[in-house]
Amino acid sequence: MEKAIHFGEIVQGVKYPLKLTREVYGTINNRNSFSKTDLFKPQITFNPDVYVDESCKIYTDEWCRKHLKRALENYDLNMEFFASLSNDEFENQIQLLDDFGFSHIQNLIEVDRVSGMYVMVLSQYKQMYIGRSNNIRNRIKTHWGVKKQFDRLIFGTVNTSRISVDSFRALDTTDILVAPFFAENDEQDIVSQIDSRFLLNRIAGGLISKNNISFEQFATTLQLRAREMKGNKP
């Protein structure tokens, strides 16, 4: 079992490794994770191709197989997109956060029971996640301790869904910035200032310039090229 001290916290890879892998990302779970109170709950009606019975609590093996294929296709597109991004541009986005008044921390105990905004930086992927919590330490530990549910890996379509921050593992977080003094309504203002190419936030994204290609455009281009190459094969 993996074990490490990360930002002053003991993190353990009990069920999953401490860094994201494609194999773990594609772990099948046939249980429906959506509840009646979920804000983004899809409309659930019985379909024998999707659910094993009318309770709609268990997905069929065939649906799980197809969903896994879509999820891994989306995973690969995300990884190719991350690899295409500029390190210099990513560092400029981090500098923006410094300019906004965020500060870097070395130990999560510094923000125990502290409310405000936080940024989790994943340098390997040139991505960041911006959030807000009444207890920043506990919220980040929750991100590290959960795994995104199998039926929620796709948020939208294969070509538009960003990998959730909860799919990454603890050691993928390489830097943490906090702004405890920020008010609740400041989160959207900050997110809107960050180039969306570098954001893992699924619900709200920042602005991008006309010269920068979005994830959706990137994914569509890759798929079109793959089809063209396949069509040109003898």
Mean pLDDT to the nearest integer, 174-203: 84
Residue pointed to by tokens 């991008």: 208
Number of domains in the chain: 1
Name the residue range of residue 36's domain: 2-232
Q: How confident is the model at residue 38 (pLDDT cuts 50, 70, 90)?
A: low
Q: How many CB atoms lie within 10 A of CB 24?
A: 15
How many percent of the chain have pLDDT more than 70?
Answer: 82
Strand, helix or coil at 211? coil
From 104, 84, 98, select the one nearest 198 (Cα to Cα).
84
Whether the CB-CB separation of 85 and 197 falls below 8 Å is answered with yes
* CA dist., res. 165 & res. 119, Å (int): 11
Angle 149-51-64 from CA coordinates, rounded to 5°: 50
Mean pLDDT to the nearest integer, 126-147: 95
pLDDT of 208 > 90? The answer is no
pTM of the model: 0.85
